[in-house]
Structure 1
Amino acid sequence: MKKIALFFLLILLNLSQLKAQHYQISLLTCDPGVELYSVFGHNAIRVVDLQTGRDSVFNYGTFDFDTPNFYLKFARGKLDYMLSRNTYNEFIGHYTYLERAVREQVLDLSPEQAAKAVEFLQINYQPENRFYRYDFFYDNCATRIRDMMEVVLGDQLEWKAPQTTEEKTFRDLIDEYVYPLPWGDLGIDLALGSVIDVDATEREKQFLPDYMEAAFAQAEIVGDGPTRPLVKSQSTVLDLPPVKIESSIFNPYFLFWLIAIFFIVITFIGFKKKRLFVGFDQALFTILSLLGIMVVLLWFFTEHSTTKYNWNLLWAFPLHGILAYGLNQKSPAEWVKKYLLFALILADAAVVFWILGWQSFHPSILPLILVVILRTNYLYYNLDRIKAYRRNLQG
């Protein structure tokens, strides 16, 4: 009888051990890449089935290039991302090829919590559930994982704020990553409005994978026994140096200041020789008009939540293109001078908005705003005088 009792006891112990070690759940954090879409890094979930040996990575950051009207949907904020599943070896092989480091945080979940996390991922991976409407700040590859953990653990998950915090706006957080890509940085600052010039909470900062990794490292599990850290262990599984982004002299700072210097020179020469050089103004205001149309389309005709209230519209105004027509007339109509004054006021307002912190513009556009102020001033006060002077010479 003792042998039989011992036999059943061993079976029970083995079963409980198998249950306790069924799944191992980890957060994977990947270093930033060199392309704009990868410069913020990446998060994914690793699931190891300790019974079968199956090693999978669930990835919320994938999309299908074969989606009909892919680029149009992306521009309008209607592109759906999806949850994909790959083997761990495929995932690591991909990042080895990209030469981007990968770190792993093994989570200290109970058997029930780990099983619930796997069930959550499996349900999300069903064809009818795997697609979601991507939002860079509020619903992305990092926040989806955080939200999953909050569903799995509920009140047992306790996020801990870092001991020292620094107030940062959403734009500040982006700038930390895109600063080495000045053209990408410019494009983001042109496209995104004043709604991102507000301080992000510690939770809101978790849209960035590095901040999510730090939040996991500080979080705790409470209420199911002794309080314990969410992360049981952490390691670097792919140890590579940070990728280097080569700088180039061809950047918006250099180019726009070069343009500003050019307009200063032609304005000085024009003042001395009583000439307007309006052909350059026609090109300038046509380009600003096109930028303004882009801002309007992103603000009013897309589902992007972060392109609203974009005051780049003050210096890049859609109707600036009509100056290309108005300045081309031998005898400019009265509305041309009125519009020049209007454009001058808008550019001045952009400077005021910037100084007061209502929206942070990309630093490289300062010379463009100064050019608009310079040329609208010059044309407003000299248009009639120089036109009359040229007519007298011809007469």
Structure 2
Amino acid sequence: MPRLAPLLTCLLGLLLLAATPARADEMPPWGTGESQGEDLSIYLVTFGPGDDVASWWGHGSLVVEDRRLQRSRLYNYGMFSFDERMLARYAMGRLEFWVDDASPSGTFRFYRSLNRDVRLQELNLSPAQRLEMGRLLAVNVLPENREYLYQHYDDNCVTRLRDGIDKVLGGHFQQAMSGPGRMTLRDHTRRYTDVGPAMSLLLDFLMNDEIDRPITRWQEAFLPDELERQVAEFQVVGEDGQKRPLVAKTIPVYEAQGRPKTPAEPPRYGPVLLLLGLALGGGAMGLALWNRRTGARAPRILLGLQNVLVGLVFGVPGLALLVMWLGTEHTVTWRNENLFLANPLTLLAVPLGFQLMRGSMKARERLGHLWLVLAGLGVLGLALKVLPMFDQDNWRLIALLLPLSLGLAGALRLARAGAPSSAGRAPEPMTSSLKAS
């Protein structure tokens, strides 16, 4: 099933649609049988990450070149249409992509203008394998064959290249890459999204334990850089029975200037999130104590504002997570343990927080009940970790949200304990009553 696409897409589809010239109606020579295998060259192209979320993952394509006929085309499986139909399909988790062909030189200029790496690997295939790859791509790009249902981790613009290479190699590539992967899909996701910590944390929150299971190297090749690395390591058996590298040569077309490299390991920001959660929860307790001791308006207003902000920042994703579980085919969000930490109830802190800022005693009491329930759910989610079925890698979110919920629950309890009477003012001292009598 589809995976949060196109937030995690491989390409700026709209821009490439504009940059890609219309292809001719006729089949290319490698599709008609006019090309000879000895005259063909097959290149795996790897494009580095870009600036926006959609391009953080990089991209890949295949190029077929007929040196004798001086024809070449680049095959790109990352095309999608940005329109109302696309948005509706994305919302339901059923986004259609397709493969298109374009001028290699024009595509390389486009990526260079975006300051993204462009690297080519010429594949050391036999003449028969080159012809097979050319025919495969020429047939795939036909209108009746070109569309496919996009899945970010399982069926995307790079896995299609991987599968094509494996097909012409008779399945030996997949067999060689069947060993354990270096890390989980979540770890790969976190290291590629490290350039945007806020988005990285949001994606970490939205995805369930589907991406925490052990995977093979073959599955890791949903990423362009991983496929590039695996192709460079792979050895093929030639017609003479001797092993040789699958990559005949590597051609660096363009190297991005000033762009940070993708980290080799996922960031370890769990301790930072724990400190942040403790600071926010402790800050709420401090505001409640200030209000209790002085009766000043400022701490009450600040505590109400904190509730509004926390309700928005975590309540909206919590609501979205529940909707994606119950109403879409984004299976990577279903049965997500982070619903113990933030959910639609969290959104109630927004209106109640505004009411608290205006001095409503009822809002203070309701917020106390709300955060007691949310803190209890968070503790329950933590306790359930002892069971094998609750194995989601969400310790970073627990470190941030559980101390925050506990702190707010404690803060509202303190605020209620120090609240004036239901009439909105403190009761008169007993001595005043005696004097009046």
What TM-score range do you get, normalising by the shorter chain?
Answer: 0.7 to 0.9
Paired with 1:26 and 1:208, the residues of 2 have a C-alpha distance of 17
Q: Is the 8 A contact 1:281 1:375 kept in 2?
A: no
1:134 is matched with which residue? 150
CA shift in 2, pair 1:86/1:255, >3 Å: farther
2:337 is matched with which residue? 311
CA RMSD of aligned residues (A): 3.5
2:379 matches 1:348: yes
1:248 is matched with which residue? none
CA shift in 2, pair 1:168/1:156, >3 Å: closer
- 1:177 alignment partner AA: Y
In structure 1, the gaps of 5 or more residues are 1-17, 246-251
Paired with 2:116 and 2:350, the residues of 1 have a C-alpha distance of 48
Superposed, which structure 2 residues align to 1:158-197 within 5 Å? 160=176, 167-197=182-212
Paired with 1:260 and 1:33, the residues of 2 have a C-alpha distance of 37
Q: Secondary structure at the match of 2:426?
A: helix
Match among 40, 46, 53 for residue 36 of structure 1: 53
- 1:393 alignment partner AA: A
1:270 is matched with which residue? 291
Paired with 1:134 and 1:326, the residues of 2 have a C-alpha distance of 41
1:63 is matched with which residue? 80
Shift of 1:339: 4.7
Shift of 1:35: 1.5
Which sits farther off after the overlay, 257-266 or 78-87? Answer: 257-266
Q: Is the 8 A contact 1:256 1:365 kept in 2?
A: no
Shift of 1:266: 1.1
Q: Is the 8 A contact 2:205 2:338 kept in 1?
A: yes
Paired with 1:237 and 1:355, the residues of 2 have a C-alpha distance of 51
Equivalent pairs, count:
370
**TM-score when scaled to structure 2?**
0.73
Shift of 1:73: 2.5
1:86 is matched with which residue? 102
Shift of 1:272: 2.5
- 1:217 alignment partner AA: A
Shift of 1:289: 3.1
Q: Secondary structure at the match of 2:393?
A: coil
Q: Is the 8 A contact 2:72 2:103 kept in 1?
A: yes
Match among 28, 31, 48 for residue 65 of structure 2: 48
Q: Is the 8 A contact 2:238 2:244 kept in 1?
A: no
CA shift in 2, pair 1:186/1:143, >3 Å: same
- 1:41 alignment partner AA: G
Paired with 2:386 and 2:188, the residues of 1 have a C-alpha distance of 20
CA shift in 2, pair 1:355/1:217, >3 Å: farther
1:10 is matched with which residue? none
Paired with 1:377 and 1:134, the residues of 2 have a C-alpha distance of 46
Q: Is the 8 A contact 1:60 1:144 kept in 2?
A: yes
Q: Is the 8 A contact 1:291 1:317 kept in 2?
A: yes
Match among 374, 377, 389 for residue 407 of structure 2: 374
Shift of 1:77: 1.9
Q: Secondary structure at the match of 2:63?
A: strand
Shift of 1:76: 2.8
2:42 is matched with which residue? 25
CA shift in 2, pair 1:332/1:255, >3 Å: closer
2:205 matches 1:205: no
* CA distances 1:76-111 after superposition (whole Å, capped 9, x unpaired): 322211111111111111111011121111111122
CA shift in 2, pair 1:182/1:355, >3 Å: farther
Q: Secondary structure at the match of 2:65?
A: strand
Shift of 1:146: 0.8
Paired with 1:157 and 1:201, the residues of 2 have a C-alpha distance of 13
* CA distances 1:226-254 after superposition (whole Å, capped 9, x unpaired): 23332222221223445249xxxxxx979
Paired with 2:42 and 2:411, the residues of 1 have a C-alpha distance of 66
Paired with 1:338 and 1:187, the residues of 2 have a C-alpha distance of 27
Which sits farther off after the overlay, 294-303 or 222-231? Answer: 222-231
**TM-score when scaled to structure 1?**
0.80
2:137 matches 1:106: no
* CA distances 1:4-32 after superposition (whole Å, capped 9, x unpaired): xxxxxxxxxxxxxx834232111011111
2:393 matches 1:360: yes
* CA distances 1:302-333 after superposition (whole Å, capped 9, x unpaired): 22232223222112121234466778575579
Superposed, which structure 2 residues align to 1:294-309 within 5 Å? 294-309=320-335
In structure 2, the gaps of 5 or more residues are 1-34, 262-271, 429-437
Shift of 1:74: 2.4
Which sits farther off after the overlay, 136-145 or 199-208? Answer: 199-208
Shift of 1:211: 0.6
Paired with 1:255 and 1:82, the residues of 2 have a C-alpha distance of 43
